[in-house]
């Protein structure tokens, strides 16, 4: 018995070390969504400079949407139901490496840039973004959260994002799902997106109309940090 008690701290340490190594390795349970839902629209902002940091974010070496397979298959159902309505999902972000989250935190510490502030957080200072909009840990890093909107075909057959009353990553009260300052048609579009996503097990984040987390996954407690290749 005495030897068992002595071994327990060692075992805990070994397991913790194993977990710390596993965060850098993509598990088989996280899959490429585009292979499953090729007819969705993918506009993966953090793999480009078209985002609030103004640069390709650390960890995004390829423009891929990766999700836990349970969340991915649920999203496939959402896309099917959207297609029935003549619409498509347009996906902005999925799995997010922890190093990307760290990049966001570094961005918060940098001086304000007027042009960026006007476009992405016109009414809030950078310190006010920490918590409601940018956190030290993100469910994106577990592969169960994504940022998404709806797209509709134009006269040329190309899909264009539907008007939602505010743009993706506009860190502002107007991006709250239930904000009343936007038009009725924009609110209807937000509620349609929410209805479609919640119908297949995703939970909305009311501060950001585009942000949804899959609720039925036997999720890992790990916040992954493997690079997207």
Q: What is the DSSP string of the chain?
A: -HHHHHHHHHHHHHHHHHHHHHTTS--TTEEEHHHH-TTSEE--GGGSS-STTSSPPTTBSS---EEEHHHHHHHHHHHHHHHHTTEEEEEEE----HHHHHHHHHHHHSPP-HHHHHHH-TTS-HHHHBTTTB-SS-GGGGT-EEEEEEEEE-TTS-EEEPP-SS-TT--SGGGSTT-SSS-HHHHHHHHHHHHHHHTTTEEEETTEEEEEEESS----S------B-
Of 34, 139, 208, 219, catalytic: 208
Q: Is 208 a catalytic residue?
A: yes
Q: Could you list the active site residues?
A: 208
């Amino acid at each position: 018995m005495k030897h068992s008690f002595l071994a327990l701290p060692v075992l805990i340490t070994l397991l913790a070390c194993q977990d710390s190594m596993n965060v850098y390795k993509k598990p088989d349970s996280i899959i490429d969504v585009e292979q499953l839902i090729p007819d969705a629209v993918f506009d993966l902002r953090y793999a480009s400079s078209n985002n609030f940091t103004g640069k390709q974010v650390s960890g995004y070496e390829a423009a891929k949407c990766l999700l836990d397979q349970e969340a991915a298959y649920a999203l496939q159902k959402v896309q099917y139901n959207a297609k029935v309505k003549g619409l498509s999902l347009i996906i902005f972000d999925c799995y997010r490496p922890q190093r990307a989250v760290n990049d966001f935190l570094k961005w918060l510490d940098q001086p304000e840039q007027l042009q960026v502030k006007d476009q992405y957080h016109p009414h809030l200072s950078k310190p006010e973004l920490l918590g409601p909009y940018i956190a030290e840990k993100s469910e994106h890093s577990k592969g169960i959260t994504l940022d998404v909107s709806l797209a509709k075909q134009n006269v040329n057959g190309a899909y264009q994002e539907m008007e939602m009353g505010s743009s993706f990553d506009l860190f502002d009260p107007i991006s709250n799902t239930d904000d009343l300052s936007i038009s009725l048609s924009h609110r209807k579009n937000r509620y349609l997106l929410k209805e479609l996503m919640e119908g297949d097990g995703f939970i909305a984040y009311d501060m950001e109309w585009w942000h949804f987390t899959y609720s039925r996954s036997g999720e890992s407690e790990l916040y992954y940090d493997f690079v997207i290749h």
